[in-house]
Amino acid sequence: NAGVTQTPKFQVLKTGQSMTLQCAQDMNHEYMSWYRQDPGMGLRLIHYSVGAGITDQGEVPNGYNVSRSTTEDFPLRLLSAAPSQTSVYFCASSYSKARREAFFGQGTRLTVV
Amino acid sequence: AQSVTQLGSHVSVSEGALVLLRCNYSSSVPPYLFWYVQYPNQGLQLLLKYTSAATLVKGINGFEAEFKKSETSFHLTKPSAHMSDAAEYFCAVSAQGAQKLVFGQGTRLTINP
């Protein structure tokens, strides 16, 4: 098992550009989520999905879109990048409500200039 | 609403000394509680979890945590620190009825030779 795979690992965007951060898991987990990590703020939930076709907003959803067409993939789209979106982004997955420990990808470090 | 407070953004101990990282949570229902570790430029790795079984939970790398309902705490300890324990540690809570994880701000652990 590869676990949770995120691509790319690093990205530099110009203000106003759009891009998609990719996330894939091969553990057949039903729950997937995206977090951003900023110094001194821990991890904050952006969006999450409890299964294919079902997504919902987390704590900081503005400026981001998600979709979940398959169990395995959960891409995060930045619609129009802003410097405030400079952060490290983590994708995570967990098996179910009964086994909810999250498995994390290695992260994507995004810089918006 | 759930929340997590980690007391101390930075803890420094000597090699061989006791490690104590503090976590207090707020949850309206009995929660699931987790400790994660993050090494530099990596994703988060699960150290241990509390899921309403034993109140003293043992994890990987010699860490353990005790759930104290009366104090709403879930402090992480290790009897003897090792240089390889230097990392950032995150406490997280998930309420029984939800699958979302809410993270604390993190505590950076430094080990002095």
* pLDDT for res B97: 63
**By 3-state DSSP, what share of chain B in percent is helix, strand and coil, each rounded to 5?**
5, 55, 40
For residues B108 and B3, the model is more confident at: B108
pLDDT digits (tens, 9 = 90+) for A7-49: 999 999 999 999 999 999 999 999 999 999 998 888 999 999 9
Asked if the Cβ–Cβ distance from B101 to A41 is below 8 Å, we say: no
Among A4, A40, A100, select the one facing B99 at the smallest CB separation. A100
Average pLDDT over residues B42-59: 90
* pLDDT for res B31: 81
Count other C-beta atoms under 10 Å from residue B15's C-beta.
13
* pLDDT for res B98: 66
**Interface mutation vs chain B, best among A25, A104, A108, A109, most B CBs within 10 Å:** A104
**By 3-state DSSP, what share of chain A in percent is helix, strand and coil, each rounded to 5?**
5, 50, 45
Res A99 pLDDT > 90: no
The structure tokens listed for B45 are 């790795």
DSSP string, A62-111: TTEEE--SSSSB--EEESS--GGG-EEEEEEEES-STT---EE---EEEE
* pLDDT for res A19: 96
pLDDT digits (tens, 9 = 90+) for A50-92: 999 999 999 999 999 999 999 999 999 999 999 999 999 999 9
* pLDDT for res A78: 97
Whether omega for the bond prior to residue A83 falls within 30 degrees of 0, making it cis, is no
Query: In Å, what is the CA distance from B3 to each residue of A84, B24, B73, B98?
Result: 24, 9, 12, 13
Among chain A residues, the shortest Cα distance to B106 is held by A42
Judging contacts by C-beta atoms under 8 Å, the chain B residues touching residue A43 are 44, 90, 101, 103
Report the mean per-residue pLDDT for chain B. Answer: 91
- Give the span between the Cα atoms of B7 and B77, in whole angstroms: 14
For residues A92 and B52, the model is more confident at: A92
For residues A5 and A95, the model is more confident at: A5
Res B5 pLDDT > 90: yes
* Cβ–Cβ contact B55 with A under 8 A: no
Distance from CA of B105 to the nearest CA of A (A): 4
- Give the span between the Cα atoms of A60 and B52, in whole angstroms: 29
* pLDDT for res A2: 81
